[in-house]
Structure 1
Amino acid sequence: MVVQSKHFLNSPPSLVLDALRGLCVLNPHLAIDPANKVIHLANPDRSKVALVCGGGSGHEPSHSAFVASSLAPAAVCGNVFASPSAGQVRRAIDLVTNDAGMCPLPPLTVDYTRNYTGDVLNFGLAKEQYAAFHPDKSDRVKFVIVGDDVAVGRKQGKIVGRRGLAGVCLVYKIAGALAARGGSLEKVYAIAEYVSSRLGTIGVGLEHCHVPGTAEPDTHLGANELEIGLGIHNESGHRRVSPVPPLNELIPDLVQMITSTADPDRSFVPFKNDGTDDVVLLVNNLGGLSELELGAIIGEAKSALDKQGIKTMRVLAGPFMTSLNMPGFSLTLLLLPGTESDDGISTDLILSLLDDPTNAPGWRWSSKTEPKTVVETASLASVNIVPPSSQSALRAPDARSFESAVERACKALLAAEGEITDMDKIAGDGDCGLTLSAGASGVLDVLKQGVITGGDVINGMIAISKVAEEKMGGTSGALYSIFFSSLAQALTRSSAAVATTEVWCSALKTALARLYTYTRARPPSRTLIDPLSAFVDVLPAGFDGAVKAVQDAAERTRDMEAKAGRSAYVGGDWLKEQKVPDPGAWGVKVIVEALAQ
C-alpha cells in the first residue's frame, strides 16, 4: 500500500512552529511563545486551576488546539513525535501559574520504552523542578499520566503500562470543564484520575503514516491488510488481519477488545457486561480517514455496543488525537460510574462536564444528548417498472437475441471496470468505471427478474433508465437515464409491432436530440456524446459501419481537447501526452462492441 509521503510545508524543521502560528491567526484568543513552542490563552483566568497539556506534535488537534479557558489554558508542543523538554514545560507552567494550582496532563506517557518515555520524564522533571524552585507551592502541582491502550496486555506491559491514546482528550475536556467551573485542585485532580482509570482505546490502521522530512518508507502493509492495536508513532500493532474485513465484522471485534473481562491480562476497564454498562463513545480519526468512512464506522460502533447491551450516552467523532496522515481510526470507551463514586463523581456530573461549551478550536461539535435509534423516513414509491405486457407491446424480432445482447453489454462493462477506472484516474475523478459497473450490475438484476425482455423493448428501456438513475448517479447516470427514457418515449410513438432497424434508428435519433436539450456537449467534445452520436448517425447505413464509427470516435478522444465533461477541468496538453481516451466514451465503445457480437 502506498503511503502519502508528500507534504505542504516551508521546511520540515519549521512545520510545527508554522502550524502553531497559523492556529493563533485562526484563534485570536490564543498566544504563542515561539522559542518554547507553547500555545496559551492570551488572557487566562488566574483565579482557577490551570491545566497544562502537551507532547509531541503530529497529533493535531491535540494538543495545541485544545487550549481554552474550559479545557487547558496552555499546551506545550515538541517536534513531530518528540517530547517537549522540561524547560518548555516549565515555561508553560509559568505562563498560566496562579494561586489555585495546576495539573500538567502529558498525554502520551505510558510506554516508557518508546516515544512516550520523554513525556513522562520531561513533564515529571518540570514538576519536580517547579517544586524545588517554589517549595511553598510544591503541593500545588499535580501530575496525571493517562494510559488507555488495550492492545498491550498486563504481562507484556507490566513495567511500562498502557500507552496513552485518544482517551486523553476526554480527560482534557472533563477535567478542564470542572476547572472552568471553579473546581478545586483536589477535585480537578480526582476527576482526571477517575476518568483515566475507566478508559479503553483500540486503534486500527490500513497503513502507517509518513513523517515530514524522512525517507519514503517501503510498503508496510499489504494492499488487503490492516493492523489492529498499532501506536500513534508508527509502532507496530497487536496483530495484522488479511483480507480487510467488513466493518460489521471488524467493529464488534474491536469493541470486544475493550469491554471483555474474560481475559484478565487484557481486561483494564471494569465492565460488568450485564446490560447495566453506560459509556461515552469516541470515534477518533487518526488523520487520513475520509469523513465518509468515519460515518460508517460511527454507525457500526453504536450498533455493536447496542448488541452487547451497552448503553451509549454520548457519541463524539472526528480528529481528536491523530497520527499525521495515518489512514485509520481508534475507538475509545469511557465507562461511566452508574452509581456515584466515593469521590462524589457521578454519570450526570461527567456528562454535564463533557457537554459544557468550549471555544477550544480542536474540540468537535457533539449533540450533547444520548443518541437515539436512527429514524429512517419511508421513501416515496418510485415509478414502477412493470413486467412486460402482452397487449400492444413493441417486441424485438428475436427476443432471445435481444436479451442476450443486453446481458453481453452488461458483462462487458463489468469486465472493463478496471481499465475504465484507470483511464478516469488520469482524465477525471476516478469513478467512471465503478459508475458504469454499478449500472451494469443493476441492469443484469432486472434482466434476471424478467423485467427486460425481448417481448417488450419499451418497458426494457424504461427499466434501464430507472437503473441508471438509481444505481449510477452523477453525470453519467443522468445522461444515460435521460437517453433511455427518451428512447422509450420515441419507441412508444411507433405504430409498428416489431422493433425493426428502422424503428430503432428513428427512436435513437429522437432520443439523442432530446439528450442535447440537457447537455451542451456536441461532437467532438471528448465525452460519451462523441461515440454515441457517431452510432446514431451511421446506424441507418448498417450496424457494422456504426460499430466502426463508435470505435473510431472513442479512439479519437485520445488526441482531443476536452470541451465538456470531466476532462474539461484537466490540462489539455497533459491529457494529450498521456494518450488516454475519455473513459465515458470508452464505456460506450465497450457497450456497442458487445452488442455487435
Structure 2
Amino acid sequence: MSIQSKHFLNTPESLVLDSLQGLVTQNPHLSLDAQNKVVYLTSRDRSKVALICGGGSGHEPAHAGFVGKGILAAAVCGNVFASPNPSQVKRGIELVENDKGLSLSVIIIVKNYTGDVLNFGLAKEQYAAQHPEKADRARFLIVGDDVAVSKSQGKIVGRRGLAGTVLVYKIAGALAERGGSLDQVYNVADWVSKNVATIGVGLEHCHVPGTAATQSHLSDSEIEIGMGIHNEPGNRRLSPVPPLGELVKQLLENVMSTTDTERSFVPFKGKGDRVVLLVNNLGGMSELELGGLVGEATKGLQKRGATVERVIAGTFMTSLNMPGFSLTVLLLPDGQAGAPTATEILELLDDTPNAPGWKWSAGSTPGQPSEEATTRNQAATTEGTLKIKAEDPKAFISAVQRACEALVKEEPEITRMDNIAGDGDCGLTLKDGAQAVLREVEAGRISGDDIVGSLIAISRVAEEQMGGTSGALYSIFFAALAQGFQLNNPNHSTQANLNLWTASLTSALTKLYTYTRARPPSRTLVDPLDAFITTVSDKKDLVVAIQAAADAALQTRDLEAKAGRSAYVEGDRLRTERVPDPGAWGVRTILDAFRV
C-alpha cells in the first residue's frame, strides 16, 4: 500500500494554529490563546470543577474538539505528535481559574505518553509551588487503556493512552457539569480509566505533514494490530487480511481476555458483562466501513455473552490520516464497593454536551441486528415462457462460465481504466455481477437447456447485484434479449439457432436504445455491443463479430467521450492516458469468452 503523503495546508508549521483558529471560528463559544495554543470555554460556571487535557496535535477532534460545556474547560495543544511545554499548560490552568483566582478546582487528564506526563506534571507542580494555597485543588490523572502493550512490556512505562481516554473526558466532564465535587469527579474519572480497554488496527501508518514521503512497510495483504496513535508499530501483523467479522473476534479477545495474564487489565467475567462500546475512526476510514464495523463489533460482544448498553461510533481520537480504527470497551460497574453504579455511568455518558467533537449517540441500548423475516424465491419467474435450448447446452454454459471468470480476472485492469476514465467502480461492479451469475449457474438457475429463463435470471442478477448505470443497462439488455427469443420465434422453435440469436440480439439492442442516448462512436459499452450485433447479423459469423467488438472496444481509447462516465472527465487527460472505456472493455471481455 502507499502512504497518503499529500495534505491541504498553508505550511506544515502553521497547520496546528490554523486548525485551532478554524475551530473557534466555527464555534463562537470557544476562545483561543493563540500564543500558547490553548482552546478554552469562553464563559462557564467557574464554581464547577474544570477538566483540562491536551497533548500533541494530530488526534483531532481530540483534544480541543472536546472543549465545551459538559466535557472539558480547556485543551492545551502541542505540535503534531509533540507534547506542549509546561508554560503552555500553566497558561491553560490560569484560564480556567475562577473569577477571583482563589478557589481553583481542576483535574488534569493526560494520556500515558512520557512527554505529556512530564510536561503537564511539571506545569502542575510549578503552579502549585507558585500558589501553595491551591495545591490541593489540582489533581492529575494518567490514562492508559491500550491492551496491545503487555504487562511485561509496559512494566515501567505502563500502557499507552488511546481512545478510551475520551470516555474518561465525557463521563467526568458530565459529572463536573452537574456540580460534582473535586473528589467525586476525580474518583469517577479514575474508576473509568481503570475499567476501559482499547486496541487499534491499521492498514497503514499515517504521514506527518512536513516530513518526507515514506514507503509502506506493509504489503497489500497485511494489516497491523496494536498500532499506537503516534505511528508506533503494532505488536503483530496479519496476512491475509481476515474478513471483518473474524478480525473483530480477534480484537475483542485481546480486549476482554480473562485468561491472558499479560493483557487481562480489566476484570471482565466472560459472560454477563454489561459494557459500553466505542468504535473510533483513526482518521482514514470511510463511513461505509465504519458502519459495518459497528455491526460486527456489537454482534461480537453479544456472542461473548456481554450486554451492550451503549454504542458510540465516529471519529474521536485520530492518528492524522491513518486508515484504521480502534475498539474500546468500558466495563460497567457491577455493585463493587466504592464504585459508581452502572446507571450513574450511563446517565453521565448520555448527558448532551456542547462540544464540537462529541458525536451524537442514541442514549439507549442498541437494537439487535435484524434479518429479513421473509424469504425470497431466488428462482427467476419463467411461467408462461417457452423453453428454448442452446444448440449445444454444455458449450453454452461453459462459455457463460468462462465469461464470468474472465471478468473476475480482468477486474484490476478494468478498475485501473475506470480510475482514469470514470469513478473507479466499473471493475468491481462487473466482478460482482459475474460472481453472482456463477452462483446462479451452480444453483442450476442458469443453464443451456433454458435460454429464456437463463436470460431472465441474468437480468435479475444485473439488477440486484450490480446496481448503478452498468447494472441497469445490462439488466435491460438481457430482459429485452429474453423477450426477443419469444417475439422473434413465430414457429415456436425449441432450439436457439443462429438466426434466432441474431434476430433477438437486434431487437434487444433496439430496445436498449430507447433507454440510452449513447450511439457509436460514443466511448461507452454500446460501441462494442453495437459492433458485435451489427456484424453477426450481417456476416452470420460469430468469430468475425467478436473480433469487430474487440476492435471497437480498443478504438474507444481514441474517441471523444460523448456519453457515460467519461463525459465528465477532462478531455486532455483521456487523450494523454489513452485507456479504453472500461465499460466497453467489459463487453469485449464477455464476448471474447464465446470464441469457438
Could you state the TM-score of these two structures normalised by the residue count of structure 2? 0.95
Find 1:473's aligned residue among 467, 470, 475: 467
Give the C-alpha shift of residue 309 in structure 1: 1.2
Equivalent residue runs for 1:158-307 within 5 Å: 158-273=155-270, 275-307=271-303
Q: Which residue of 1 aligns with 2:84?
A: 84
Q: Is the 8 A contact 1:53 1:74 kept in 2?
A: yes
Give the C-alpha shift of residue 265 in structure 1: 2.8
Q: Deviations over 1:15-43 (max 9, x none)?
A: 00111111112212111111111111121
Q: Which residue of 2 aligns with 1:431?
A: 425
Gaps of 5+ in 2: none
Q: Does 1:594 align with 2:589?
A: no
Q: Which amino acid counterpart does residue 290 of structure 1 have in structure 2?
A: S
Secondary structure in structure 2 of the residue aligned to 1:563:
coil
Give the C-alpha shift of residue 257 in structure 1: 1.5
User: Using the alignment, how far apart are the partners of 1:102 and 1:5 within structure 2?
Assistant: 43
Equivalent residue runs for 1:2-17 within 5 Å: 2-17=2-17
Say which is worse superposed, 422-431 or 19-28, in terms of deviation: 422-431
User: Using the alignment, how far apart are the partners of 2:444 and 2:381 within structure 1?
Assistant: 10
Q: Which residue of 1 aligns with 2:55?
A: 55
Secondary structure in structure 1 of the residue aligned to 2:469:
helix
> CA 1:51 to 1:100, structure 2 compared with 1: closer, same or farther past 3 Å?
farther
Q: Which residue of 2 aligns with 1:318?
A: 314
Say which is worse superposed, 84-93 or 400-409, in terms of deviation: 400-409
Q: Deviations over 1:218-264 (max 9, x none)?
A: 22112211111121111111112222222222212211222223233
Q: Which residue of 1 aligns with 2:351?
A: 356
Q: Which residue of 2 aligns with 1:556?
A: 555
User: Using the alignment, how far apart are the partners of 1:445 and 1:117 within structure 2?
Assistant: 56
Secondary structure in structure 1 of the residue aligned to 2:557:
helix
> CA 1:236 to 1:408, structure 2 compared with 1: closer, same or farther past 3 Å?
closer
Q: Does 1:43 align with 2:43?
A: yes
User: Using the alignment, how far apart are the partners of 2:375 and 2:445 within structure 1?
Assistant: 21
Secondary structure in structure 2 of the residue aligned to 1:143:
strand
Q: Is the 8 A contact 2:386 2:486 kept in 1?
A: no
Q: Which residue of 1 aligns with 2:360?
A: 365
Give the C-alpha shift of residue 383 in structure 1: 7.5
Give the C-alpha shift of residue 188 in structure 1: 0.7
Q: Which residue of 2 aligns with 1:126?
A: 123
Q: Is the 8 A contact 1:286 1:322 kept in 2?
A: yes
User: Using the alignment, how far apart are the partners of 2:445 and 2:304 within structure 1?
Assistant: 43
User: Using the alignment, how far apart are the partners of 2:332 and 2:401 within structure 1?
Assistant: 57
Q: Which amino acid counterpart does residue 326 of structure 1 have in structure 2?
A: M
Q: Is the 8 A contact 2:205 2:323 kept in 1?
A: yes
Give the C-alpha shift of residue 105 in structure 1: 3.3
Q: Deviations over 1:30-83 (max 9, x none)?
A: 111111111111212212111111110000010010011100021111000000
> CA 1:481 to 1:207, structure 2 compared with 1: closer, same or farther past 3 Å?
same
Equivalent residue runs for 1:123-162 within 5 Å: 123-162=120-159
> CA 1:380 to 1:511, structure 2 compared with 1: closer, same or farther past 3 Å?
farther
Q: Deviations over 1:257-298 (max 9, x none)?
A: 22223233322111222x232111111111111122222222
Q: Deviations over 1:361-415 (max 9, x none)?
A: 11111111111212234357468415899x8423333333322332232222223
Q: Which amino acid counterpart does residue 361 of structure 2 have in structure 1?
A: S
User: Using the alignment, how far apart are the partners of 2:221 and 2:103 within structure 1?
Assistant: 53
Q: Is the 8 A contact 1:86 1:125 kept in 2?
A: yes
Q: Deviations over 1:166-211 (max 9, x none)?
A: 1100000000000111111111111111111111111111111110
Q: Is the 8 A contact 1:521 1:563 kept in 2?
A: yes
Q: Which residue of 1 aligns with 2:404?
A: 410
Secondary structure in structure 1 of the residue aligned to 2:260:
coil
User: Using the alignment, how far apart are the partners of 2:50 and 2:400 within structure 1?
Assistant: 71
Q: Which amino acid counterpart does residue 440 of structure 2 have in structure 1?
A: V
Q: Which amino acid counterpart does residue 289 of structure 1 have in structure 2?
A: M
Give the C-alpha shift of residue 502 in structure 1: 2.5
Q: Is the 8 A contact 1:100 1:184 kept in 2?
A: no
Give the C-alpha shift of residue 553 in structure 1: 1.3
> CA 1:270 to 1:411, structure 2 compared with 1: closer, same or farther past 3 Å?
closer
Q: Which residue of 2 aligns with 1:68?
A: 68
User: Using the alignment, how far apart are the partners of 1:427 and 1:474 within structure 2?
Assistant: 16
Secondary structure in structure 2 of the residue aligned to 1:219:
coil
Q: Does 1:571 align with 2:570?
A: yes
Say which is worse superposed, 141-150 or 420-429, in terms of deviation: 420-429
User: Using the alignment, how far apart are the partners of 1:256 and 1:536 within structure 2?
Assistant: 58
Q: Is the 8 A contact 1:340 1:347 kept in 2?
A: no
Q: Is the 8 A contact 2:51 2:109 kept in 1?
A: no
Q: Is the 8 A contact 1:204 1:227 kept in 2?
A: yes
Find 1:102's aligned residue among 97, 102, 105: 105
Q: Which amino acid counterpart does residue 86 of structure 1 have in structure 2?
A: P
Q: Is the 8 A contact 2:386 2:452 kept in 1?
A: no
Q: Is the 8 A contact 1:387 1:450 kept in 2?
A: no
Give the C-alpha shift of residue 158 in structure 1: 1.4
Q: Which amino acid counterpart does residue 356 of structure 1 have in structure 2?
A: D
What number of residue pairs does the alignment pair up? 588
Q: Which residue of 2 aligns with 1:506?
A: 503
> CA 1:405 to 1:375, structure 2 compared with 1: closer, same or farther past 3 Å?
closer
Q: Does 1:376 align with 2:392?
A: no
Q: Is the 8 A contact 2:295 2:369 kept in 1?
A: no
Q: Which amino acid counterpart does residue 134 of structure 2 have in structure 1?
A: K
User: Using the alignment, how far apart are the partners of 1:420 and 1:528 within structure 2?
Assistant: 13
Q: Which amino acid counterpart does residue 300 of structure 2 have in structure 1?
A: A
Say which is worse superposed, 247-256 or 50-59, in terms of deviation: 247-256
User: Using the alignment, how far apart are the partners of 1:102 and 1:512 within structure 2?
Assistant: 78
> CA 1:78 to 1:467, structure 2 compared with 1: closer, same or farther past 3 Å?
same
Q: Which amino acid counterpart does residue 316 of structure 1 have in structure 2?
A: I
Q: Which amino acid counterpart does residue 108 of structure 2 have in structure 1?
A: L
User: Using the alignment, how far apart are the partners of 1:45 and 1:214 within structure 2?
Assistant: 42
User: Using the alignment, how far apart are the partners of 1:302 and 1:383 within structure 2?
Assistant: 30
User: Using the alignment, how far apart are the partners of 1:415 and 1:259 within structure 2?
Assistant: 41
Q: Is the 8 A contact 1:101 1:185 kept in 2?
A: no
Q: Which residue of 2 aligns with 1:113?
A: none
Say which is worse superposed, 171-180 or 150-159, in terms of deviation: 150-159
Q: Is the 8 A contact 1:388 1:459 kept in 2?
A: no
Say which is worse superposed, 514-523 or 205-214, in terms of deviation: 514-523
Gaps of 5+ in 1: 111-115
Q: Which amino acid counterpart does residue 312 of structure 1 have in structure 2?
A: V
Q: Which amino acid counterpart does residue 350 of structure 2 have in structure 1?
A: D
Greater than 4 Å deviation, 4+ residue runs: 386-389
Q: Which residue of 2 aligns with 1:540?
A: 537
User: Using the alignment, how far apart are the partners of 1:556 and 1:102 within structure 2?
Assistant: 75
Give the C-alpha shift of residue 90 in structure 1: 1.1
